[in-house]
Amino acid sequence: MGLTTDAARAGALARLRADEAYVAAFAAAFPDREPWGFDEVILAVACFERALVSMNAPVDRFRRGERDALSFAALRGAEIFNTDYKGAVCHHCHNGITFTNDVTHQSSPFDEVVYTNVGLYNVGGTGDYPAGNQGLYETTKNPADRGKFRTPTLRNVSVTAPYMHDGSVATLAEVVEHYQTGGRLIDDGPLAGDGRVSPLKERGLGGMRLDEDDIRDLLAFVEALTDADFLADPRFANPEPQSPFFGE
């Protein structure tokens, strides 16, 4: 997040140290590590992130035996999501407890992180994504890696619009439409191109043949990954609404 140089880190530390609430909180958390520095900031952020466990969505409650946690529509949606029904291959990439193949774990089917081009762009028919935002390619500079991104988790995805790495898809319904057509067609403008026929698109994303009821049910399943308890947990709330770090 831009904290890649010593100067940037020193600046961030200075801003934290100027905030009384942080000074008190760090003293309480790290009583033996005065003066605290960037190592302690990293520890604190890592501890916070480790606490962000969301496992009480309707889908989780259903798996734990609450038979009425899922509506009939969501149950049917789970069936669509988890089988290759009419070309809906969601579970190939969005799988496991996090609904992504981005983490490896004991008995994980993958031993490395998977990057995929889902056909969001095909600028001028070249397979290009917008310059400077080409995913894995930005690191490897391998032309075959253009447009390859990690699979995001789908937990709580109903509250995180807009979608995809650049927020270029507004709603979940439009995301499903994207998979239905097997890529995005951009008619005009500098990014024009047909993602459906991108030479770099993942082969398995050939489009789906879902009807209106299927789409409604698939969306009901995705909505059922929303953990209301997690989202309302005061431990994760902004501790300092007035702080310049959080803003409005």
Q: Contacting ligand HEC (CB under 6 A), which of 143, 204, 206, 239?
A: 204
Q: Are 175 and 119 in contact (CB under 8 A)?
A: no
Name the closest residue to ligand HEC (Cβ). 90
Q: Which two tokens stand for residue 241?
A: 């609404």
Of 108, 121, 84, give the one whose Cα is nearest residue 201: 121
Binding mask 91-120 for ligand HEC (x = CB under 6 A): -xxx---------------------x-x-x
Of 212, 209, 218, 221, give the one whose Cα is nearest residue 182: 209
Contacts with ligand HEC: how many residues (CB under 6 A)? 26
* Nearest-angstrom CA–CA distance, 183 and 169: 12
Which one of the spans 28-36, 171-179, 227-235, 240-248 is the region binding ligand HEC (CB under 6 A)?
A: 171-179
| Region of 169 on the Ramachandran plot (φ > 0 left; ψ -120 to 50 alpha; else beta) | beta
Q: Which two tokens stand for residue 176?
A: 């499903």
Helix, strand, coil percentages in the chain from 3-state DSSP, rounded to 5: 40, 5, 55
Cβ atoms within 10 Å, residue 191: 16
Is 164 among the residues that bind ligand HEC (CB under 6 A)? yes
Q: Contacting ligand HEC (CB under 6 A), which of 172, 220, 224, 225?
A: 172
Degrees, nearest 5: CA angle 62-109-89: 65
* Nearest-angstrom CA–CA distance, 121 and 185: 8
Is 191 among the residues that bind ligand HEC (CB under 6 A)? no
Q: Which lies closer to ligand HEC via its Cβ, residue 17 or residue 92?
A: 92
Q: Contacting ligand HEC (CB under 6 A), which of 179, 200, 217, 225?
A: 179
Smallest distance, Å, CB 61 to ligand HEC? 21
Q: Contacting ligand HEC (CB under 6 A), which of 16, 59, 90, 220?
A: 90
Which one of the spans 18-26, 35-43, 89-97, 181-189 is the region binding ligand HEC (CB under 6 A)?
A: 89-97
Q: Which two tokens stand for residue 204?
A: 């398995």
Residues of this chain that bind ligand HEC (CB under 6 A): 88-90, 92-94, 116, 118, 120, 149, 151-152, 154, 157, 160, 163-165, 172, 175-176, 179, 202, 204-205, 222
